[in-house]
Structure 1
Amino acid sequence: MAKTLGIKGKQLKIAIKKASEVQDNFYKTLQRRGKEILRDLKPDDKAVVVVSRPYNGCDPGLNLGLPQKLMNLGVIPIPLDFLSIDEIDISEDWPNMYWRYGQKILCTVEIVRRDKRLNAMYLTNFGCGPDSFIAHFFREKMDDKPYLQIEIDEHSADVGAITRCEAFLDSLKNVSPSEIEKTKQVKVLSIEKGTQRTVYLPYMSDHACAIAAAFKANGVNAVVMPESNEETVKWGRRYTSGKECYPAIVTTGDMVRQVMSKDFDRKGAAFFMGGSSGPCRFGQYNMLQRMVLDELGYEDVPIYAPNQARNFFEELEVVGRDFFLLGWQGLVTIDLLEKCLRETRPYELNKGETEKVYKECVEISMSVIEKRSNLIKALKECRKKFEAIAVDKSELRPVVGMVGEFFVRANKFSNEDIIIKLEELGVEVWVAPVYEWFLYRNFRRDFLARQRGDIACIGKTMLMDKFQVLEEHKIAGVFKGFLRNLEEPSTKSVLDMASEYVDKTFFGEAIMSIGKAMDFYNKGLCGIVNTIPFTCLPGTIASALLKRFKEEHNDIPVLNVAYDGLGQTNSDTRLEAFVHQARQFQKRMESIKNGELVRV
């Protein structure tokens, strides 16, 4: 930054220190004013705390001037930042609330619900990802104390908002303040070492079978739940608001469907759900699902959600010392078998044969992992099975690459079988591997550990990352000479390829999608498909960046597809147009290579 500004580093440090002091003094001034307001409020007075973020709570254009309108209605509006929220500790109730303003909002809940004079107006915006989860947590903690939630977008009119404010204030006249009690804590219940419970895993893809095999190898019975269907969505939408990202709705629906089944044994069951420390909403899934299970009366059914942050490897050891090793081998194996499937199926002479061989190989390899047998030997047999499939590759199809949010791109129910549809339209599809996400998490864990000066975490992460890469290379070596899309770039290479568009410190899937899109382009692919959940923030950012990527890379066709489970009437038409563009791009690039003049 100092170099960019043309000043010395020492000057920059002094400026940052001074700016921080001024900012801190500003916050202290706000809180002093807040204490003055609360001190002057009489027992029967009413004030409304405006729960918001600065960009909407302080902008009269974005908040429809609601704070001023509250004043016109004779009510004192108090901005969230006027409250002494730093004095509130929510770490016990919300141990994984990694969004800073999520922490502030949930601290505000505790202040509002304990003070009979205070009520809350929660301002949010359409498509706000964090609020799609925080709103659930906010409601849970407010319990039976009424509050007003207003969602604003570019179509909102202040007339309707004023009416809602008036109705809310009128309703408060009929509410008798009750004794403030400590609200019920949402208890995070996980499995214990040596558990005898059966662990149910949501079916994201056949990678779930790999995790199940690793569980079984360590003496823990595991069952992959049936693939998602319309019943899944029905239950998911019933117990969510519909504003969460689609994978949250799908996996929640799968859990509810399972507990509703006749043979579900609550005393012998547990669920598996991945964990994260942000910034994506994924890390909040298990807390929302905990609340859903509690609501259904299954408070005693654990959710095992190992967080991929600092203590990831330790949390995995709850299952067994080599659970991670076997799980990693399984994930890499499934990714490679899927590559075999996608590079063979478009050219098979006997329809359905490749799919049959693929399923046989999944069953063989997962059985080997469960029994801790020779995986390399088993995969060599799998290669022979794929090589024996009758194919016609006299004319290779155009190849397109798929990037995007890792659940949607892997889950064929969520992405409406987009790979099959693209193959039926005449292209071959290469997909970013699922295991890339785990290697990327190693990079993030190492990066943050270095900021903390956590030597132990740095050392362990480096060792595990090196082991994972070596193990991946060893397993992938079985398919050398058979798979064209065998070698994957390192995490560093992917981040470097994306660096022109997004910095490596901007965590999340957006940078991986852009970097992998660049990798596909460099490998000569003819188009990029970006599959994301509707309102997914990393996915939306990637979609925006891919527009520039397209312009700067010979106008390569890019298709952004957002899924919400409602279906789109024009989806097939969009796929057909994309495939046509991919064919044209292939011809154009071949002409350029041959030195011909191309008119665009």
Structure 2
Amino acid sequence: MMSSCSNIKPPQSNIDLNYLGTQKTQWRDTINRDFTKKDQKDTVILFGGMTILQDRLVMAALEAKKEKYVALPNPDFESFRTGKAYGNRGQCNPTYFTVGNLVKYLQNIQKETGMSSEEIVQKYAYVTANGCGPCRFGMYITEYRKALTDAGFEGFRVFSFEHNKITNEDGSESELNLSPALYITPIKAVLIGDIINILSHKIRPYEVEKGATDKAIEKCYDIVSDALKNNKNLLFALWKCRKELAKVKLDRLQIKPKVMIVGEFWAAMTEGDGNYNLHRFLEAEGAESIPQPIINRLMLSIWESTYFFNKELDIEDEAKTNYFDFSSTKRRIITKLLEVTIKSYFTLYAKTIGLHDYTLPDIEALSKLSRVYFPLDAEGGEGHMEVAHLLESIHHNIAHLVISVKPFGCMPSSAVSDGIQSLVTSHYPSANFLSIETSGEGAANFYSRVQMALFKAKQSAKEEFEALETPEHIPEKVHNYLYQPKNEKAGTAAQLLYSLNM
């Protein structure tokens, strides 16, 4: 899903530094041994970083394949403190949380089992995404190794994955199993997790009985994970989930502002201390949030792959004429098939469980929308998508507030996107936009700024609703989550009222 920086080699020599007469040695980034198929039989592969539900569903999918994969717990402030203790001071917020989460997990194993560091290094490995561009995301693997070494787990194996392979730490292809039979089912689990998460944010703000939605979601997890583990029909499982979600009693005519959450992928997506529990906080403050699912990031990766590949071909075309490149055509076809297949599965699963009004983003259309402001050749972070989502919300009245959340000092998001967003908001003064950073500290200031932006959003939602005529009779269907009218209004209550007046 992400492109790897496998061509970049870490420093292989020590550099002696002398500060105030004390000789110090720069830390050396060493390469661990390769991973073989024989190693995989005896190794537990750790992973994580998605939403809580998706990590659990992927683990269930891999369990069905008899693979030893374990999802790490959701990162918390203890993970952050652990990452601070063992990581360098130049990291960004997600690194502190994710790196610290892995170190904390290994330390807990050591405490609970009495295993030595050497035994843990031998028995466990970790697989994660990696990337390039003007972002510290490209340094994650190095940060993991340094923190693990300083924590006493020197030699711990860390792998990064690309579109179709997993690489060793020196960039060579690993023998870690990533055959189509292995990763197709986990991808389905991720798509289903996206859909259930989207529905949970649509349903929970309007529940009559507090906690009813979470209980229904947990039942859905049990149903889907059982289907994944035992190779049962996923469509039938999702239909059963549909019935569970329909049992949640709702009052959907409550006036609540809609808040679109964009920004740096991990900071916007995570469901915990990494973004101060932003989604739950918004709901507690009387709002409905619109999350950014993983499939959106996947669609962006596919679009970027096609976009930059086409630019390479344009350069080659200047030097060649009247030729047919079979490999280029093959790549285009495969990429398009991948995009169509993923969208088809998502749509099928969404319709089955009852998510009727959700439209997957058209990245090409969004790129055309944002190219006036954002140079599409600029890589790193979420590319043009942060700007595009704000413009989309303005032009199509999708949300009353757009929050861009990112790690403290995130260069692609803070330095690039936020600078451009200031121009966008100057052209559209009515836009309600908030850019906010997370650092693992300063929650009070974070919440205060969100509350101030929410005040304006609540006023907009109220005015939108009160401008509509309320019919004498309100049909019961409006309180069923399966009734999802799509129209020019932003708020759920206003959408429902508007549909009744049509």
Q: If the length of structure 2 is used for normalisation, what is the TM-score?
A: 0.77
What corresponds to 1:513 in structure 2?
A: 386
What corresponds to 2:480 in structure 1?
A: none
Flag the 1:459–1:560 CA change in 2: closer, same or farther, 3 A. Answer: same
1:352 CA drift (Å): 0.7
Flag the 1:396–1:416 CA change in 2: closer, same or farther, 3 A. Answer: same
Flag the 1:219–1:189 CA change in 2: closer, same or farther, 3 A. Answer: farther
1:539 CA drift (Å): 1.5
Instruction: Give the AA of the match of 2:304.
Output: R
Q: Equivalents in 2 of 1:447, 1:542: separation in Å? A: 20
What corresponds to 2:364 in structure 1?
A: 492
Partner SS, residue 289 of structure 1: helix
1:300 CA drift (Å): 4.2
Instruction: Give the AA of the match of 2:426.
Output: E
Q: 8 Å contact 2:134–2:412 — kept in the other structure?
A: no
The C-alpha deviation readout for 1:226-281, integer Å capped at 9, x for no partner, is: 22223212210011123211111111101111221223643221112112233432
Matched, 1:468 2:342: yes
Flag the 1:553–1:377 CA change in 2: closer, same or farther, 3 A. Answer: farther
What corresponds to 2:444 in structure 1?
A: 569
Q: Equivalents in 2 of 1:311, 1:267: separation in Å? A: 19
Flag the 1:476–1:532 CA change in 2: closer, same or farther, 3 A. Answer: same
1:311 CA drift (Å): 8.2
- Residue-pair matches, total: 431
Partner SS, residue 220 of structure 2: helix
What corresponds to 1:254 in structure 2?
A: 101
Q: 8 Å contact 2:206–2:254 — kept in the other structure?
A: no
Q: Equivalents in 1 of 2:164, 2:92: separation in Å? A: 21
What corresponds to 2:283 in structure 1?
A: 423
Identify the match of residue 201 of structure 1 among 47, 52, 74. Answer: 47
1:397 CA drift (Å): 1.6
Partner SS, residue 322 of structure 1: helix
Percent of aligned pairs with the same residue?
A: 18
Matched, 1:143 2:14: yes
What corresponds to 1:117 in structure 2?
A: none
Query: Where do 5+ consecutive residues of structure 1 fail to align?
Result: 1-94, 107-136, 148-167, 595-600
Q: For 1:227-306, what aligned pairs fall within 5 Å after superposition? A: 227-261=74-108, 262=110, 263=113, 265-306=120-161
Identify the match of residue 478 of structure 1 among 352, 361, 364. Answer: 352
Q: For 1:34-49, what aligned pairs fall within 5 Å after superposition? A: none
Say which one has the larger Rg.
1
Identify the match of residue 304 of structure 2 among 440, 444, 467. Answer: 444
Matched, 1:220 2:80: no
Q: 8 Å contact 1:286–1:303 — kept in the other structure?
A: yes
Partner SS, residue 543 of structure 1: helix
Matched, 1:546 2:421: yes
Q: Equivalents in 2 of 1:578, 1:189: separation in Å? A: 51
Instruction: Give the AA of the match of 1:272.
Output: V
Flag the 1:175–1:259 CA change in 2: closer, same or farther, 3 A. Answer: closer
Instruction: Give the AA of the match of 1:448.
Output: F
The C-alpha deviation readout for 1:376-417, integer Å capped at 9, x for no partner, is: 111111121111101111334221111111111121220111
What corresponds to 1:186 in structure 2?
A: 30
What corresponds to 1:580 in structure 2?
A: 455
Identify the match of residue 404 of structure 2 among 517, 526, 530. Answer: 530
Q: Equivalents in 2 of 1:440, 1:561: separation in Å? A: 23
What corresponds to 1:345 in structure 2?
A: 204
Partner SS, residue 520 of structure 1: helix
Q: 8 Å contact 1:317–1:323 — kept in the other structure?
A: no
Q: Equivalents in 2 of 1:552, 1:370: separation in Å? A: 52
Instruction: Give the AA of the match of 1:538.
Output: P
1:213 CA drift (Å): 3.1
Q: 8 Å contact 1:332–1:472 — kept in the other structure?
A: yes
The C-alpha deviation readout for 1:512-548, integer Å capped at 9, x for no partner, is: 1222233333143111011100111121122222223
Q: Equivalents in 1 of 2:232, 2:337: separation in Å? A: 24
Q: 8 Å contact 1:556–1:585 — kept in the other structure?
A: no
Q: Equivalents in 1 of 2:63, 2:353: separation in Å? A: 27
Flag the 1:510–1:331 CA change in 2: closer, same or farther, 3 A. Answer: same
The C-alpha deviation readout for 1:480-509, integer Å capped at 9, x for no partner, is: 5x554x112222223222222213222231
What corresponds to 2:223 in structure 1?
A: 364
Q: Equivalents in 2 of 1:337, 1:353: separation in Å? A: 15
Q: Equivalents in 1 of 2:34, 2:195: separation in Å? A: 32
Q: Equivalents in 2 of 1:175, 1:384: separation in Å? A: 68
Q: 8 Å contact 1:191–1:270 — kept in the other structure?
A: no
Flag the 1:387–1:316 CA change in 2: closer, same or farther, 3 A. Answer: farther
1:550 CA drift (Å): 2.6
1:307 CA drift (Å): 2.7
**Higher relative contact order at CA 8 Å, sep ≥6: structure 1 or structure 2?**
2
1:305 CA drift (Å): 1.3
1:433 CA drift (Å): 1.3
Instruction: Give the AA of the match of 1:246.
Output: N
Flag the 1:530–1:417 CA change in 2: closer, same or farther, 3 A. Answer: same
Q: 8 Å contact 1:306–1:316 — kept in the other structure?
A: no
Instruction: Give the AA of the match of 2:30.
Output: V
Q: Equivalents in 1 of 2:249, 2:37: separation in Å? A: 48
Query: Where do 5+ consecutive residues of structure 2 fail to align?
Result: 168-172, 314-326, 470-502
What corresponds to 1:381 in structure 2?
A: 240
1:302 CA drift (Å): 1.9
Partner SS, residue 351 of structure 1: coil
What corresponds to 1:56 in structure 2?
A: none
Q: Equivalents in 2 of 1:325, 1:561: separation in Å? A: 36
Identify the match of residue 162 of structure 2 among 307, 311, 316. Answer: 307
Q: Equivalents in 1 of 2:100, 2:284: separation in Å? A: 30
Q: Equivalents in 1 of 2:247, 2:175: separation in Å? A: 39
| Farther off after superposition, 567-576 or 227-236 | 567-576
Q: Equivalents in 1 of 2:184, 2:164: separation in Å? A: 18
Partner SS, residue 272 of structure 1: strand
What corresponds to 2:430 in structure 1?
A: 555
What corresponds to 1:87 in structure 2?
A: none
Q: Equivalents in 2 of 1:316, 1:587: separation in Å? A: 57
Aligned Cα root-mean-square deviation (Å)? 3.1
Q: Equivalents in 1 of 2:468, 2:303: separation in Å? A: 37
Identify the match of residue 294 of structure 2 among 434, 445, 464. Answer: 434
